[in-house]
Amino acid sequence: MSNNVLFITEKTLKARLPMSAAIDFTAVKPFIKLAQDQQVQPILGSGLYLRLQEGIVANNLNADELDLLNDYVTDTIIWFTMAMLPIGMGYQLFSKGFLQKSAEESNTPSRGDLELLEERYKKHGEYYATRMIKYLQENYQKHYTYLNPGSGVDVIFPVTRAYTSPIFLGRYFKPEDGKQYGNGGSDANALPIYYTAAAGISTFTIPQLIGRVVLACTRSGLGKVVTTSTTSNPDFIQIVSGVVTLPTGDVIGVGGENFIFLYR
């Protein structure tokens, strides 16, 4: 699949942004591509990201995929693209090096002004990114490749939050090494269990978890909160005496979903 398939058009970008209609779209396209790859692909995961690109090329996007693109992806890309433009368009590479552009009968903003604009637009992008994440978590059954992006070291699993924090929150769980995630706690003597679920089931038993403390669980790479109570929240999963129960109304649609449990 070509990495140059964009999710938004020139017409959409210019209609939704405080942007001159005279701007050359070819100068903006690299920033759209960068916004897609850096900000949208981690939210969708590489599986759903590639599926949307393929659907655009083949013109076979279904109604749910069109809703995702039109109602969530578009706004996220637009504002993250806008966040890149103050610095990206304000400076250009010439034979003498990078030079700041200037124009007659206008004032060139300072670097500080450009950075303030960048931060403001980035916050708009993070707002729409958060909405997209919540939509996907609520409607994951409509997009099979969201929770099942595939396998391999280059696979990108969906993130669960649009904002990042520089504060260390403790250990975290990485499926490839079996360490604990969360706010502190010890991973001493912790063991991972890998389980591949069959289609059509909503509950299954893991004998190794009977009588054990389950520290963490991931489903297709997404961390789940472990509870002993019945739940309809897709962010939770019920585990009681080794019996794993999906949220109310949830069923494994297609076989092959991977679960990882960390226990001691």
Joined tokens for residue 18: 């405080």
Whole-angstrom distance, CA of residue 1 vs CA of residue 53: 7
Which residue spans within the chain are E strands per DSSP? 91-94, 97-100, 191-197, 203-205, 214-219, 222-227, 236-240, 243-245, 257-263
Alpha-carbon distance values, 155 to 6, 56, 127, 128, 149 (Å): 20, 21, 25, 24, 7
How many other CB atoms are found less than 10 A from the CB of residue 126? Answer: 19
Tell how far CA 262 is from the center of its chain.
Answer: 23
What is the pLDDT, as a whole number, of residue 131? 93
What is the pLDDT, as a whole number, of residue 163? 60
189 vs 154, more confident? 154
* Least confident segment among 56-60, 179-183, 201-205, 242-246: 179-183
Indicate the residue type of 59: N
What is the pLDDT, as a whole number, of residue 189? 64
Classify each residue of 221-249 as buried b or exposed e, where b means 16 or more C-beta atoms within 10 Å of its C-beta.
Answer: bbbbebeeeebeebebbbbeebebbbbee
* pLDDT surpassing 70 at residue 239: yes
For residues 202-209, average pLDDT: 94
Q: pTM of the predicted model, to two decimals?
A: 0.61
**102 band by pLDDT with thresholds 50, 70 and 90:** low
What is the pLDDT, as a whole number, of residue 159? 79
In contact, 195 and 211? CB cutoff 8 Å: no
Query: 138 Cβ partners below 8 Å, 6+ apart?
Result: 234
For residues 185-194, average pLDDT: 68
**96 band by pLDDT with thresholds 50, 70 and 90:** low
Mean pLDDT of the chain: 80
**215 band by pLDDT with thresholds 50, 70 and 90:** confident
Strand 222-227 to 97-100 pairing: unpaired
For residues 141-156, average pLDDT: 82
Q: pLDDT, tens digit, for every residue of 115-140?
A: 888 888 899 999 999 999 989 988 88
Location of structure tokens 């398939």: 5
In contact, 203 and 245? CB cutoff 8 Å: yes
What is the pLDDT, as a whole number, of residue 174? 44
Could you tell me what percent of the chain has a pLDDT over 90?
Answer: 35
* pLDDT surpassing 50 at residue 177: no
180 vs 27, more confident? 27
Q: Which of 133, 86, 140 is nearest to 113 (CA)?
A: 86
Q: pLDDT, tens digit, for every residue of 28-74?
A: 888 999 999 999 999 999 999 999 999 999 999 999 999 999 999 99
